[in-house]
């Protein structure tokens, strides 16, 4: 049981390049999330998916697209990377499933640098 | 507008003493609150939570207190240990809503031996 996995762990891009961050969970959770963490800014929600086939914008969606490929996988795409997208990206999943808990489980993160 | 505020960016305490981390919120619709701990180069991990029907929840050395009238919660760690040194995030949600969490900016706790 690996929990939430993310690939790659590190990436350096040049301005204008594109890339996709991959995320997978093996906990059979319905909901998945993408966050970015910047120094002094906490965790900010980029996009989330409440169930397979649905996605919604979070607090900072500009410059990103997402795909909920199936129940396990949720990818984040940067179509044209900008230096402002230099950050650490975290994927998370959760499933309230009738329990009184909104605990989210996080992956180890992807550290992205855009030059 | 920040809905969840952690006004202390850092806190330093001695091993064995109590650590108190504070969090304030502005959205009166929030009714479920969580604390996460984050070590460098790792993802955040869930620590403890509390619903608005309670004013206290304990789990071992960790206790969360909720003051709804003041829109304030705090995390107490007793006794503090060097392994508790990490960034602590407060998060809030609306139960029955979208399961989205709103996070504070975090407080870096350092426990000195």
Quote the CA–CA distance of B12 and A54 in Å, as a whole number.
Answer: 43
CB proximity list for B55: less than 8 A, separation 6 or greater: B65, B66, B67, B68
**Predicted confidence (pLDDT) per residue in B43-64, tens digit:** 999 999 998 999 999 999 999 9
Tokens of B43: 């993802």
Give the model's confidence band at B94: pLDDT under 50 very low, under 70 low, under 90 confident, else very high.
Answer: confident
Give the CA distances from residue B70 to residues A17, B42, B105, in Å, rounded to whole numbers and listed in that order: 47, 33, 20
Strand partners, B59: B62
**Choice among A1-5, A11-15, A96-100 with the minimum mean pLDDT:** A96-100
CA distance B43 to chain A (A): 4
Q: Are the Cβ atoms of B100 and A100 closer than 8 angstroms?
A: no
Contacts A102 to B, Cβ<8 Å: 32, 34, 49, 93, 95, 99, 101
Q: Are A50 and A56 in contact (CB under 8 A)?
A: yes
Q: Are the Cβ atoms of B104 and A90 closer than 8 angstroms?
A: no
Of B43, B104, B106, which is closest to A106 when you measure between CB atoms? B43
Cite the DSSP H helix spans in B14-84.
none
Residue A5 has pLDDT above 80, yes or no: yes
């Amino acid at each position: 049981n690996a929990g939430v996995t993310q690939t790659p762990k590190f990436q350096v891009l040049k301005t204008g390049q594109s890339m996709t961050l991959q995320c997978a969970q093996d906990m059979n959770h319905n909901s998945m999330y993408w966050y970015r963490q910047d120094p002094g800014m906490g965790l900010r929600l980029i996009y989330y998916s409440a169930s397979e086939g649905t996605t919604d914008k979070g607090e900072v969606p500009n410059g990103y697209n997402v795909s909920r490929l199936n129940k396990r996988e949720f990818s984040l795409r940067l179509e044209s990377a900008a230096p402002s997208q230099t950050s650490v990206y975290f994927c998370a999943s959760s499933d309230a499933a009738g329990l009184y808990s909104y605990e989210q489980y996080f992956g180890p993160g992807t550290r992205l640098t855009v030059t | 507008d920040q809905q969840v505020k952690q006004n202390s960016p850092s806190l330093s305490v001695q091993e064995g003493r109590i650590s108190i981390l504070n969090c304030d919120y502005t959205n009166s619709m929030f009714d479920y609150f969580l604390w996460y701990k984050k070590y460098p180069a790792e993802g955040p991990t869930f620590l403890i939570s509390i619903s608005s029907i309670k004013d206290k929840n304990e789990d071992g050395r960790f206790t969360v207190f909720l003051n709804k009238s003041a829109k304030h919660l705090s995390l107490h760690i007793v006794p503090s240990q060097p392994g508790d040194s990490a960034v602590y995030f407060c998060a809030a949600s609306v139960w029955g809503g979208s399961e989205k969490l709103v996070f504070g900016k975090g407080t870096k706790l350092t426990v000195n031996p």
